[in-house]
Amino acid sequence: MPRELKPAEMAAPAAAYAHGVHVPAGYECVVTSGVVPTRRDGSVPQTLVSRRALFGKIFWRFSLKAK
């Protein structure tokens, strides 16, 4: 099972994310960095919940294409 990395020497993340994730053998992994879920028209959803929903839709499509 993937495990969130929480180094004791570091402050907690500033938002709802992990400093890192350990992904053991046998799991698929998608790595993103600084992803801002932007709509095709260039707008960004106003709330964190709506941004997460758009991000989920975008990566669901990528995962279907990868198979």
What sections of 1-67 are H helices per DSSP?
A: 48-66
Predicted local confidence at residue 12, as pLDDT: 81
Report phi then psi at 13, rounded to 5: -55, 150
Nearest to 1 by CA among 29, 27, 31, 30: 27
pLDDT confidence band for 57 (50 / 70 / 90): confident
Place of tokens 């020497």: 9
> What mean pLDDT do residues 30-56 have?
80
Inform me whether the pLDDT recorded for 32 exceeds 80.
no
Which residue pairs, CB below 8 angstroms and at least 24 apart, start in 42-46? none
> What mean pLDDT do residues 53-63 have?
74
Inform me whether the pLDDT recorded for 1 exceeds 80.
yes
* Structure-block tokens of residue 6: 């929480």
What rounded mean pLDDT belongs to the chain? 78
